[in-house]
Structure 1
Amino acid sequence: MRLLWRPAALLATTALLTACPDKKPAATESGSPTEEPLRKAPVFNADSAYAYTARQVSFGPRVPNTPAHVRCGDWLVAEFKKAGLTVQEQPFTAMAFDGNMLRGRNIVARFAPQAARRVALFAHWDTRPFADKDQKKPNAPLDGAVDGASGVAVLLELARQLAAQPDSLTPAVGVDFILFDAEDYGYDTSTQANLQNKLAGSGVESWCLGSQYWAKNLLPAGYKPEYGILLDMVGAKGARFSREQTSVQAAPEAVAKVWNTANRLGYSDYFLYQDAPGITDDHVFVNQAGIKCIDIIDHVPYGDEYFPPYHHTTQDNMSAVDRATLKAVGQTVLQTLYQE
């Protein structure tokens, strides 16, 4: 993903970059005394989510056009099917910024497909093919344990938990788990200025190729959930989640639901009532398809850098993953579903 806008050295002006801008959000900072009580929801299993993260990493870097990518995709499909979900695959071909033609596939797994009211949960399952922010190994592939695998792992555990519940204890909405491919094979002007972006001027963003394809070819056809939640970089030690500007602008009610639920569950140290610049991430294209979608992504001011230090480096491995963060995100999203 890339930054769109950010405060210039934390001043009032903003500059067009590769991620998103700062603005006062519409989300409520605390619940009212009359708010609905928290409903009973299953306990999110952070150990299981951690194991799902490690399993993805074990395939090797999940770079499109590689055997590891194919094997991991097959495993993801099998895991959703094992949980009893209805699964559809959406293969596509897209040109990357360097001219490579990528063979990708989006994966859609539906829980309670008969339910009329629906909520969409998104993540990307590919990894960046080069650690271009790494000071020592900028051309090395990376594990993507946090950036990619952690979001997918939370969705897999949520699917497993929902499928394990008797009908009387499932949420009042159907849930669609949608995994996007080829999100992270983009052109970064800050690290790749010596390369040519062959997509420049084409009308195609170099990042988020899978979600761009899905947004133009909705699967299921005519898909219209009440809202969507994108999970990206949701498993790191010390992670903090600010309210990203595009999310606040496009789906303020969903931002309020998630952040207030996190606060009520005791996760206010993770979900900060703080605004963040917007970023080009998969939720941008989901919103362009007419679906209100927010982004839960690790961001707290890191000086002039939007992203945390492990981002697009070889340090994004299992040593960066924390069960407590997976728990905070997973339980918050699970409780949000049960509040519907």
Structure 2
Amino acid sequence: MKLATFRLPLAALAGLVLLTGCPDKKSTETAESSVPAAAPALPQAPVFNADSAYAFTAKQVAFGPRVPNSKAHIATGNWIVAKLKSYKLKVMEQPFEAMTFDGTNIHARNIIAQYQPQAVRRVAVFGHWDTRPFADADPDPKKKNKPMDGASDGASAVAVALEMARILSQLPEAQAPNVGVDFIFFDAEDWGHDETTQKDVKNQLEGGTTDSWCLGSQYWGTHLLPANYKAEYGVLLDMVGAKNGKFTREATSVASAAFALDKIWGVAAQLGYSNYFQYENTGGITDDHVYTNKAGIPTIDIYHYNSPDNFFPAYHHATSDNMSVIDRQTLKAVGQTMTQVLFVN
């Protein structure tokens, strides 16, 4: 992901400013929202292992930048698939080809894994597993054309989802949640045109039907896998592993899936994670959740929000997005909250 400037009009969000979650995410409005009253005691849920999620993040980074068409990208995708299969989940791959804004033809694949595929009630956990091919937001001009590790931006989300899949797969049937969970990893999210840092580069997709960002979720949204896929709600994880992570109530999420947002933020508060999941309303962005919402899955976006002036943290689309920014406490806050939510009716 990286600062950019494509915009997507959403009729349902009239009056809200949408900035790109893949490109330049800039907040225009912030407002405090009241914290809900005390809720009933939470049901028992398995313990999320932050050390395991940290190791999963490091493993992805160790492959090298996960840029489509690269050996590291192929190897990482194969590893993710193998991990999911080792947990006895139903795993599907969705290969696709696309052209990026700079005219590069890429070979990509979305990865889908289903826990309790027989369950009628379903929850989707989304993330992207690729990395941006250039660190065009890096403060060092010499590094702007270098690829990045994407430790928080991409790898942390996949790691949280993998750890959730691991601990769920170990539960005896009597202790399983009463929902099925679909882990859906999008490819080619981050190879988009940033109108700020790449203003001198032509966006060859401009004026067409395809936005330059979030290519994997755009493809999945029009080629649903599983076919005719439905879920009660979805949660997009993006940049969820860095120290001092701050997650706010993003406007598109509020408009599209307020019930899911309220549920997750309420659980986080009960678990003691309100310093991460903050009751602050912030402007709308365009990220993969825009396309999953368009596909009929009410989806919220959990991502590292910085400030109204600098929407993204300093590591965003920079070479500093490496393992040095990853924090086990943030991984724990997100992972334990998401795991617990599955056990709350």
Q: Tell whether the structures are fold-level matches, with TM greater than 0.5.
A: yes
Q: Deviation of residue 36 (structure 1)?
A: 3.3
Which residue of the partner structure matches residue 236 of structure 1? Answer: 242
Which residue of the partner structure matches residue 341 of structure 2? Answer: 336
2: distance between equivalents of 1:247 and 1:171? 24
SS of structure 1 residue aligned to 2:342: helix
User: What are the ranges of 5 or more consecutive residues in structure 1 without an aligned counterpart?
Assistant: 6-12
Q: Which of the numbers 212, 216, 234 marks the counterpart of 1:206?
A: 212
Letter of the 1:44 partner, please give it.
F
Question: CA, structure 1 residues 264+73, in 2 after alignment: closer, same or farther (shift >3 Å)?
Answer: same
Q: Is the 8 A contact 2:131 2:150 kept in 1?
A: yes
Deviation track 1:252-295 (CA, whole Å, cap 9, x = no partner) reads 00000111110010000000000111111100000001110000
> How many residue pairs align between the two structures?
330
1: distance between equivalents of 2:184 and 2:48? 19
Length-normalised TM-score, structure 1:
0.93
Which residue of the partner structure matches residue 11 of structure 2? Answer: none
Letter of the 1:330 partner, please give it.
G
Deviation track 1:88-107 (CA, whole Å, cap 9, x = no partner) reads 00000011000101111000
1:67 aligns to 2:67 (yes or no): no
Length-normalised TM-score, structure 2:
0.92
2: distance between equivalents of 1:250 and 1:311? 26
Once the two structures are superposed, the pairs formed by residues 197-276 of structure 1 within 5 Å of their partners are 197-276=203-282
2: distance between equivalents of 1:95 and 1:263? 43
Q: Is the 8 A contact 1:126 1:181 kept in 2?
A: yes
Which residue of the partner structure matches residue 331 of structure 2? Answer: 326
SS of structure 2 residue aligned to 1:262: helix
Which residue of the partner structure matches residue 126 of structure 1? Answer: 130
Q: Which of the numbers 311, 327, 335 marks the counterpart of 1:306?
A: 311
Which residue of the partner structure matches residue 180 of structure 2? Answer: 174
Deviates more, 1:126-135 or 1:15-24: 15-24
Deviation track 1:164-209 (CA, whole Å, cap 9, x = no partner) reads 1100111110000000000000001110001000000002110000
Q: Deviation of residue 300 (structure 1)?
A: 3.3
Q: Report percent identity of matched pairs.
A: 56
Question: CA, structure 1 residues 237+3, in 2 after alignment: closer, same or farther (shift >3 Å)?
Answer: farther
Which residue of the partner structure matches residue 47 of structure 2? Answer: 43
User: What are the ranges of 5 or more consecutive residues in structure 2 without an aligned counterpart?
Assistant: 8-14
Deviation track 1:292-336 (CA, whole Å, cap 9, x = no partner) reads 0000000031x5111000000000000000000000000000010
2: distance between equivalents of 1:64 and 1:97? 14
2: distance between equivalents of 1:22 and 1:169? 44
Which residue of the partner structure matches residue 155 of structure 1? Answer: 161
Question: CA, structure 1 residues 15+278, in 2 after alignment: closer, same or farther (shift >3 Å)?
Answer: closer
Q: Deviation of residue 135 (structure 1)?
A: 1.9
Question: CA, structure 1 residues 273+210, in 2 after alignment: closer, same or farther (shift >3 Å)?
Answer: same
SS of structure 2 residue aligned to 1:72: helix
2: distance between equivalents of 1:28 and 1:218? 37
Question: CA, structure 1 residues 23+118, in 2 after alignment: closer, same or farther (shift >3 Å)?
Answer: farther
Q: Deviation of residue 23 (structure 1)?
A: 6.0
1: distance between equivalents of 2:344 and 2:187? 30
Which residue of the partner structure matches residue 82 of structure 1? Answer: 86
Q: Is the 8 A contact 1:3 1:306 kept in 2?
A: no
Question: CA, structure 1 residues 163+210, in 2 after alignment: closer, same or farther (shift >3 Å)?
Answer: same
Letter of the 1:72 partner, please give it.
T
